[in-house]
Amino acid sequence: MRVYLDYNATTPVAPEVLDAMLPYLRDNFGNAGSVHTPGQRARAGVDAARESVAALIGANAKEIVFTSGGTEADNLAIFGTIAASNKPRKHVITTSIEHHAILHSCEELERQGIDVTAVPVSREAGSQGIADAEEIRRAIRPETVLITVMHANNELGVIQPIEEIAKIAREAGVIFHSDAVQSAGKVPLDVERLGVDLLSISAHKFCGPKGIGALYVRADTPLRSRAFGGHAERDRRPGTENVPGIIGIGKAAELARKLLAEDSQRLGAFRDKLESALLEKIPNAFVNGDPARRVPNTTNVSFPGAGGEAMLIALDLQGIACSTGAACSSGSTEPSHVLLAAGLSADDARSSLRFSLGRPTTAQEVNYAIATIPEVVARIRALSPRELNSAAAARVH
């Protein structure tokens, strides 16, 4: 039996999405920038998709900029904001658990001489992985141009206090961006309620195609294009529009809106069942991240004494696909920066697995995972009992 529990890495394209895209790969292949009839058919499809994406996040269609995905949307938000600022000195605030699309962009800013403050997150049970909005307030300087804080973390699933941070940013006159790649399609999103100026999403995280995403840009938010060559996307992102991809994200957004409540309730119940069973069946296992403030499909569990990479391979041989962290970091032998920031030791971080469920997940798959994972963990622990005893003793003391 094959069980896929890595939906935070990517999701399958929904059949309805594929059906919506196919005509724009075959018959309606016109360039949306052309004035003739084929071009205008493509333009009509793009306009309808823009409306659909806007509706998913409570925005106006004119505020949606299509990109190649979440990473480009994050880069455009960060570098576009910096480029548009007329402050002689610039400073950016982020957190220590951001996706590498943010952290690596901030590292590039530092190479350019721009100061970056990475605010830590809580290491305490009951709030683990959550940033303190007051810490962000204290980090603001006169030269602060941008605050960028993710909505839901890709490894822990924890949801940050975005509304509170947005209010602080607004009071300080600082632009606020949120990477919502892992929350779009999982929890309700309303940019007006959240109070963000910029927000990134990616289609392949909610049953859309890869290679297409969007950046919400609140009206009148200063943002300068980082690419040049044309006037597409209101001069924010030049180049021939990926019409089939845009149709795909539009349909995926429509489905996400329609199925969000149902998906959330069902996947939350499955996640809780899986999580409870693993904690009950596997000694010393523990869940990472705030247990309440998180997206409903994600759990991150540590199994001290069992190496994450070994578990990953053993589970794959048993037909279960999961993750040791962010998909973009696969192949890395370093412990997750997210788990380290949340207070885990390097050993516990290396013994952690992320299980993320999706719309296609079934009760049968969850039951198979519950039956299989404890056996795999026990087998791997038996190969290194000394490490298990040392890890247990370290947490006691």
The pLDDT score that the predictor gives to residue 289 is: 97
The rounded Cα 94 to chain-centroid distance in angstroms is 15
Q: How many other CB atoms are found less than 10 A from the CB of residue 291?
A: 15
Distances (CA, A) of 307 to 40, 255, 369: 55, 38, 18
The pLDDT score that the predictor gives to residue 334 is: 84
Query: What is the SS3 string spanning 144-179?
Result: EEEEECCCECCCCCEECCHHHHHHHHHHHCCEEEEE
Pick the catalytic residue from 106, 207, 322, 328: 328
Query: What does the block give as tokens for 190?
Result: 């309303």
Report whether 44 contacts 247 (CB < 8 A). no
Nearest partner of 210 among 330, 69, 75, 323, judged by Cα: 69
Can you give the pLDDT of all 397 residues of the chain as single tens digits? 999 999 999 999 999 999 999 999 999 999 898 899 989 999 999 999 999 999 999 999 999 999 999 999 999 999 999 999 999 999 999 999 999 999 999 999 999 999 999 999 999 988 999 999 999 999 999 999 999 999 999 999 999 999 999 999 999 999 999 999 999 999 999 999 999 999 999 999 999 999 999 999 999 999 998 888 877 788 788 888 999 999 999 999 999 999 999 999 999 999 999 999 999 999 999 999 999 999 999 999 999 999 999 999 999 999 999 999 655 544 556 899 999 999 999 999 999 999 999 999 999 999 999 999 999 999 999 987 655 545 444 554 3
Q: Which residues pair with 152 in a beta bridge?
A: 159
- Which H/E stretch holds residue 364? helix 363-382
Report whether 373 contacts 330 (CB < 8 A). no
Report whether 122 contacts 130 (CB < 8 A). yes
Long-range contacts formed by 332-336: CB under 8 A, 24+ apart? 333/309, 336/155
The pLDDT score that the predictor gives to residue 1 is: 93
CATH topology of domain 3-9+260-396: Aspartate Aminotransferase, domain 1 (3.90.1150)
Tell me if domain 3-9+260-396 and domain 15-256 are identical in fold: no
Q: Where are the domains of the chain?
A: 3-9+260-396, 15-256
The pLDDT score that the predictor gives to residue 228 is: 84
Question: At 263, is the secondary structure helix, strand, or coil?
Answer: helix
The pLDDT score that the predictor gives to residue 326 is: 53
The pLDDT score that the predictor gives to residue 33 is: 86
CA distance 105 to 242: 24
For 94-112, b/e burial (b = at least 16 CB within 10 A) is: bbbbbbebbbebbeebeee
* Best CATH choice for the domain 15-256 from the list 1.10.340.30, 3.40.190.10, 3.40.640.10, 3.30.465.10: 3.40.640.10
The pLDDT score that the predictor gives to residue 397 is: 39
Alpha helices in 100-225 (DSSP H): 100-111, 133-139, 162-172, 191-194
Report whether 377 contacts 322 (CB < 8 A). no
Quick one: angle between helices 100-111 and 70-84, nearest 10? Answer: 30
322 noted as active-site residue: no
pTM here? 0.94
Q: How many other CB atoms are found less than 10 A from the CB of residue 138?
A: 11
Query: What does the block give as tokens for 130?
Result: 């959550």
Q: How many other CB atoms are found less than 10 A from the CB of residue 327?
A: 13
The pLDDT score that the predictor gives to residue 231 is: 79
